Amino acid sequence: MHDVQDGFRLIVFDWDGTLMDSEARIVDCLRRAAEAAGLPALPAERLREVIGLSLDGAFARLYPEAGAATRARLAEAYREEFLHRNPTPSRLFPGARELLSRLHAGGRLLAVATGKARRGLDRVLAETGLGRYLHASRCADETASKPSPRMLHEILDELAVAPEQALMVGDTDYDLEMARAAGVAAVGVTHGVHDAERLRRHRPLALVPDLHALDRWLAGPAAAVS
C-alpha cells in the first residue's frame, strides 16, 4: 500500500457525491429537464447512475435516441434548473471543510476534477469558500468527460506532478476508472452514488465510508477502512 506520508504530493477530489451531498438536487434537476423537453420520466435509480458524467454524456446514456440538438436543450434546461430554480438543498458532507483545510495547511496540493460545468463549480466554490484551498480544477465543459483520463492529465501537467505522486478520491465508477487510466492511485468513498462492490472492481487502495474515515486514512494507511 502506498504511504501517503511519503508519497502523494497531490490529492484530487471529485465534487458531487464526494465533497458535496448533491445527489437529490441533481436527480431532481435531471427529471425536470427531461420533463421540460417532453421526454419520458425515468426512475430515480437510473438518473443517479449518470451523476459524475458531463451533461451531454449523461443525457446520451439516459436518452440514447436523443440527437445532439435535443441533448443541448436538455443541458440548458438542467443548468437553468440547477443554478436558478431548484430549491433542493446541497450541503458539504461532514468533515469536508476541515479535511481540505488540514491538507492545505499541511502543504498538500489539492484539486477538483468534476462532471460539473465551470459555471456551476465556480458558484459552489464561492458559496462554500473551499476555492481558497484548491490549486487547480477541471470541469466537464472544458475538457473530456470522465472516465477519460484527460482531466487528470491536465491537472498533473498544470501542477508538474507525476502520476505516482497523485491520489484521486471519488465516489463513482467514473472517478476510479479515470484514475486507473491516468496511472493515478485512488480511494473510493462509499457515501456517494456507487456502492462499495461496484467501486471495488477498480482496485482502489482503500474504500472509506465517509470523509472522517478518509482523513484517518490519509493520516496513516494502517487506519484504512477497506
Of these residues, 6, 14, 21, 56, which one is catalytic? 14
C-alpha cell at 66: 436523443
By the 8 A CB rule, do 182 and 149 touch? yes
* CA atoms within 13 Å, Cβ hemisphere of 198: 15
Q: Is 224 exposed, middle or buried (0-12, 13-18, 19+ CB in 10 A)?
A: middle
Strands 20-21 and 91-92: antiparallel
Residue 105 contacts by C-beta under 8 Å, 6 or more apart in sequence? none
Residues 90, 28: Cα–Cα separation, whole Å: 12
14 is known as an active-site residue: yes
Considering only CA atoms, which of 1, 5, 19, 4 is closest in space to residue 175? Answer: 19
Among all residues, which ones are annotated catalytic? Answer: 14
